[in-house]
Amino acid sequence: ASDDGLVRIGLKKMKLDPNNRLAGQLDSKDREALRASMAKKYRFHNDL
Amino acid sequence: GSEETDIVALKNYMDAQYYGEIGIGTPPQKFTVVFDTGSSNLWVPSAKCYFSVACYFHSKYKSGDSSTYKKNGKSASIQYGTGAISGFFSNDNVQVGHLVVKDQDFIEATKEPGVTFVAAKFDGILGLGFKEISVGDAVPVWYNMVKQGLIQDQVFSFWLNRNIEGEVGGEIVFGGVDPNHYKGKHTYVPVTQKGYWQFDMGDVLIGEKPTGYCAGSCAAIADSGTSLLAGPTTVITMINQAIGAAGVANQECKAVVQQYGQTIIDLLVSGAQPVKICSKIGLCAFDGTHGVSMGIENVADESNGKSSGILHGATCPACEMAVVWMQNQLMDNQTQDRILNYADQLCDRMPNPMGESSVDCKNISSMPPVSFTIGGKVFKLTPDEYILKVGEGSEAQCISGFTALDVPPPRGPLWILGDVFMGRYHTVFDYGKSRVGFAEAA
């Protein structure tokens, strides 16, 4: 909070490193699942 | 009430890299959440989550400890990758900065299957999308902030610091914009489909050259909950080629270029409409707006029993990509031999769906910028902005910030502009005027 009436929330950044980079370790089946998940998030799974 | 409206998907959690702290209940119980403009629900782990390992590594909401808790109990499911996070709705006060949002519906997650969430540094998600995509018709936190008169203007804005280690990761500002975090003026574009922060964008440029694919407009979603930039395979392949990203060879693509490449060039030169070329040569059906696969698995020439071997579902999109690539090269006045060679090379750089593409860290300085046209203005990303470094020093690996995602018309072609883009460009989500604005981040 500040005098200008704005509400500021500090964000932390997660650093990419080999240990937290699970996406790179996924096999093709998992990648398909992630793709399907993304399709669901954006509601275009019926289009794909 | 339908299955579709009761499920919201979280994408690959690794794509969500920025998170902040909120409090739920009275006294406030602290949670770290991803502020996600690509979804609209608030979700945190529940103290009633007993059988999921991930719950033991994160803060959990204890309704019994809150004097402002109100029971709801309606079940909810959040789709994620190979499983689904499930739980039930509850109602309590939510503290965001110094604001207290009263009577906020949120999901208490009681099951977080798999190992994915175990290592996550955040506990949950706070969705900043529109109510239209909210699971269980829950009123999003942002809507309640507005309704309860807690903020000055109906605007929130993101500044994501992509630069220096050890500094603040970024800042989300509710109620306006922080002039310290951008330079110049914002370029605003109207929201075209409420639900997501979706807008129309123009062409994508590699170097200074237009790719042509989005010249007639593409849709784009500004999504703070996704780190990468996702877009049509046709363009991602061109980017892969330009930056030397690893890809996979696509045989249908190579066969189309070999067998039909010259014909495609001839048709383009003769002035045929690019969208009709693949149907003209029999590789797609034409639905009046674009080519569509004909659903032919394999076509055999009955007279000699030989299979053509290429006419199946992937051939039409391969042909359509080849048309775009060749048209792009023709406009660049390349020779026909070079065009065919270029298209063949692109067939070796096809991205894995939603996969990562590695690049050589040593070549970053020689890679071209990639730019997006939004509101008639060009928004450039330099290679050090769109390449992500994983690890340090000689052990460092570099991956492209671009990933492929194909959405056919009418929803597509679609781009997801995640943190890679929002890091370079301070982003304003103007709910009051239903528009999104971008300006150079400071």
Q: How far apart are CA B350 and CA B235, in angstroms?
A: 10
pLDDT in tens, A13-43: 776 554 444 333 334 444 455 556 666 666 6
pLDDT in tens, B254-296: 999 999 999 999 999 999 999 899 999 999 987 656 666 655 4
Q: What is the H or E stretch that residue B265 is in? A: helix B251-269
Taking 50 as the pLDDT cut, the residues of chain B under it are 1-16, 81-82, 296-312
Does the beta-carbon distance from A47 to B98 stay under 8 Å? no
* Pick from B404, B392, B397: nearest CA to B358: B397
What is the SS3 assignment for B372-425? Answer: EEECCEEEEECHHHHEEEECCHHHCEEEECEEECCCCCCCCCEEEECHHHHHHE
Q: Which pLDDT score is estimated for A48?
A: 44
Q: What are phi and psi of B329, to 5 degrees?
A: -75, -35
Q: Which pLDDT score is estimated for B226?
A: 80
Q: Which pLDDT score is estimated for B81?
A: 47
Q: What is the H or E stretch that residue B42 is in? A: strand B42-45
**For residue B76, what are the β-bridge partners?**
B87
Contacts of A40 in chain B (CB under 8 A): 7-9, 79
Cβ of residue B440 closer than 8 Å to a chain A Cβ = no
Q: How many CB pairs under 8 A join A and B?
A: 160
Buried b (16+ CB within 10 A) or exposed e, B167-196: eebbbbbbbbbbeebbeeebbbbebeeebb
Q: How far apart are CA B341 and CA B364, in angstroms?
A: 24
Q: Which pLDDT score is estimated for B17?
A: 66
Structural contact between residues B245 and B359, judged by C-beta atoms closer than 8 angstroms: yes
Nearest to A12 among B10, B98, B169 (CB): B169
Contacts of A11 in chain B (CB under 8 A): 18-20, 35, 160, 168-172
Residue appearing with tokens 């300006």: B439
Query: B414-417 and B229-231: which strand pairing?
Result: antiparallel
Q: Which pLDDT score is estimated for B12?
A: 35
